[in-house]
């Protein structure tokens, strides 16, 4: 399986000292920062947009290579994922992870009917790559994994995602209970795609990491478990060991 990547979710950081919280978690051993973008529409919560990403980018050195330390892994919990690609690229995003459900929903259509915002996952992945970011595709707990096979098996490299995010809570809030019922999707993906980057997000921490590791996840998001810890560096190391063992 690909290498372990630990991506603390800054949703659990102190927003009043966000820049410092971001640079500190990188110093404490994090590989990436997981940046949760919520629009109050795709999910019932609001976070922040490009101006905040611009500011925190100044506190975290840009990765020197794809997937490198300091990667901004932007988890786009928004109804119109295509609309924000360029803005997030310019703000400092390195990996743009959109939701399958948003890209395929008829809500992505404008009231007038056909909208240029309505797209399909393959086109959107190509568009993200054209904008020189890595592309991720996320699925909510209720979405079956097999909807992704056609996308992952695409012979067109530009239209294939660099990462799949399997949500292990309903997206919207930090600190929720881990849903082990989502792990068979991770197992299935790992069996079919030994080299795929598979990210899990929601309820991950010292008590749930082994299950996720056994299923085959290699990119681990953890918000409350890292930012709420007495010793975040220790938690980051523990998560990494569980994946690498």
Q: Among all residues, which ones are annotated catalytic?
A: 36, 201
Q: Can residue 204 be called a binding residue for ligand DX5 (CB under 6 A)?
A: yes
Q: Which stretch binds Zn ion (CB under 5 A): 21-29, 31-39, 139-147, 211-219?
A: 31-39
Please choose which of Zn ion, ligand DX5, none residue 223 contacts, taking the beta carbon within 5 to 8 angstroms, the exact cut-off set by kind: ligand DX5
CA distance 135 to 98: 8
How many other CB atoms sit within 10 Å of the CB of residue 219? 26
The set of residues, in sequence order, having a beta carbon less than 8 Å from that of 114 and lying 6+ positions away, is none
Q: Can residue 201 be called a binding residue for Zn ion (CB under 5 A)?
A: yes
Q: Can residue 34 be called a binding residue for ligand DX5 (CB under 6 A)?
A: yes
Please choose which of Zn ion, ligand DX5, none residue 143 contacts, taking the beta carbon within 5 to 8 angstroms, the exact cut-off set by kind: none
What percentage of the chain's residues is helix, strand, coil (to nearest 5)?
40, 20, 40
Q: Which is nearer to Zn ion, 126 or 138 (CB)?
A: 138
Residue of 122, 75, 129, 115 whose CA lies nearest to 99: 75
The set of residues, in sequence order, having a beta carbon less than 8 Å from that of 2 and lying 6+ positions away, is 195, 196, 197, 218
CA distance 136 to 165: 7
Q: Can residue 198 be called a binding residue for ligand DX5 (CB under 6 A)?
A: no
Q: Can residue 224 be called a binding residue for ligand DX5 (CB under 6 A)?
A: yes
As given in the structure block, the two tokens for residue 205 are 């921490």
Burial of 64 (0-12, 13-18, 19+ CB in 10 A): exposed
Q: What is the smallest separation between the CB atom of 137 and ligand DX5, expressed in angstroms?
A: 14
The torsion region of residue 172 among left (phi > 0), alpha (psi -120 to 50) and beta comes to left
Q: Can residue 75 be called a binding residue for Zn ion (CB under 5 A)?
A: yes
The set of residues, in sequence order, having a beta carbon less than 8 Å from that of 62 and lying 6+ positions away, is 70, 92, 94
Q: What is the smallest separation between the CB atom of 4 and ligand DX5, expressed in angstroms?
A: 16
Q: What is the smallest separation between the CB atom of 99 and Zn ion, expressed in angstroms?
A: 10
- The correct pick among 29, 174, 216, 232 for binding ligand DX5 (CB under 6 A) is 174
Q: What is the smallest separation between the CB atom of 75 and Zn ion, expressed in angstroms?
A: 4
Binding residues for substrate: 9, 75, 172-175, 203, 223-224
Please state the residue numbers annotated as binding site: 9, 34, 36, 75, 172-175, 201, 203, 223-224
Which residues are near ligand DX5 by CB under 6 A?
A: 9, 11-12, 34, 36, 75, 169, 171-176, 201-204, 221-225
């Amino acid at each position: 399986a690909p290498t372990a990547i630990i991506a603390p979710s800054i949703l659990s950081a102190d927003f009043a000292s966000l820049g410092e919280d971001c640079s500190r978690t990188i110093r404490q051993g994090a590989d990436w920062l997981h940046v949760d973008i919520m629009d109050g529409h795709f999910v019932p919560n609001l976070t922040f947009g490009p101006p905040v990403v611009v500011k925190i980018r100044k506190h975290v050195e840009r990765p020197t290579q794809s997937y490198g330390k300091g990667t901004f892994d932007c988890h786009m919990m928004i109804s119109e994922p295509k609309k924000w690609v360029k803005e997030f690229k310019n703000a400092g995003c390195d990996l743009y992870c959109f939701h399958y459900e948003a890209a395929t929903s008829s809500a992505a259509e404008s009231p007038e009917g056909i909208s240029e915002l309505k797209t399909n996952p393959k086109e959107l992945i190509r568009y993200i790559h054209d904008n020189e970011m890595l592309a991720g595709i996320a699925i909510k707990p209720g979405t079956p994994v097999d909807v992704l096979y056609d996308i992952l098996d695409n012979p067109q490299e530009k239209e294939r995602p660099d990462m799949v995010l399997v949500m292990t809570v309903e997206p919207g809030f930090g600190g929720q209970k881990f849903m082990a019922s989502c792990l068979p999707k991770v197992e299935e993906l790992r069996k079919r795609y030994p080299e795929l980057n598979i990210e899990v997000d929601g309820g991950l921490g010292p008590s749930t990491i082994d299950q996720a590791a056994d299923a085959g996840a290699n990119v681990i998001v953890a918000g409350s478990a890292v930012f709420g810890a007495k010793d975040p560096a220790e938690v980051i190391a523990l998560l990494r060991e569980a994946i690498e063992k």
